[in-house]
Structure 1
Amino acid sequence: METHNTRYTRTPQSEKMKWVNHVAKLMDNQFRMPGTNFRFGLDPILGFLPVAGDLASFGVSAMLVMTMARHGASGKVVALMLVNIVLDTLIGSIPVLGNIFDFFFKANQRNVRLLTRHYEEGKYQGSGKGVIIGVLVAIVVLFILLIWVLWQLAEWIYTQLAAIL
Structure 2
Amino acid sequence: MKSASKRLRGKSARDGEATLTGESAVLTELQLGHPSLRWVDRYSRLLDTRFRIPGTKVRFGLDFILGLVPGAGDAISMGLSGILIATMARNGASPRLVLRMLGNVGLDALVGTIPVLGNIFDLFYKANHRNLLLLREYYVEDKHRGSVWPILMAIVIALIILLGLMVMIFVWCINAIMNLF
Same fold (TM over 0.5): yes
Residue 139 of structure 1 is matched in structure 2 by: 155
Query: What is aligned with 1:160?
Result: 176
Match of 2:79 in 1: 59
Match of 2:132 among 98, 103, 112: 112
* Structure in which a larger fraction of residues adopt helix: 1
* Aligned position for 1:45: 65
Q: Deviations over 1:121-152 (max 9, x none)?
A: 11133xx4x1x333333333333333333333
Question: Partner letter of residue 146 of structure 1?
Answer: L
Which consecutive aligned stretches of 4+ in structure 1 deviate over 4 angstroms post-superposition? none
How far apart, in 1, do the equivalents of 2:69 and 2:108 lie? 15
Change (3 A) 1:94 1:75: same
Distance between the aligned counterparts of 1:88 and 1:50, measured in 2?
Answer: 14
Distance 1:162 1:102, change over 3 A: closer
1:12-42, Cα deviation, whole Å (9 max, x unpaired): xx11111000000000000011111211111
CA drift of 1:50 comes to 1.2
- The match for 2:11 is 3
Which of 17, 22, 25 matches 2:42? 22
**Counterpart amino acid of residue 151 in structure 1:** V
Contact kept? 2:113, 2:169, Cα under 8 Å: no
For 1:139 and 1:124, locate their aligned partners in 2 and report how far apart those are by CA, in whole Å: 17
Match of residue 7 from structure 2: none
Aligned partners of 1:162, 1:40: CA distance in 2, in Å? 31
In 2, the alpha carbon distance for the partners of 1:156 and 1:93 equals 10
The root-mean-square deviation of aligned C-alpha atoms, in Å, is 1.9
**CA-CA distance at 1:154 after TM superposition:** 4.0
For 1:85, what is the secondary structure of its paired residue? helix
Q: Unaligned stretches of 5+ in structure 1? A: none
Question: How far did residue 108 of structure 1 move?
Answer: 0.6
Return the letter of the residue paired with 1:85.
V
1:122/1:100 CA distance change after superposition, 3 Å? same
Deviations 1:98-131 (A, max 9, x none): 1100001101111111110111111133xx4x1x
TM-score (norm 2): 0.78
Q: Quote the Cα distance in structure 2 between the aligned partners of 1:36 and 1:161.
A: 33
Report how many aligned residue pairs link the two structures. Answer: 157
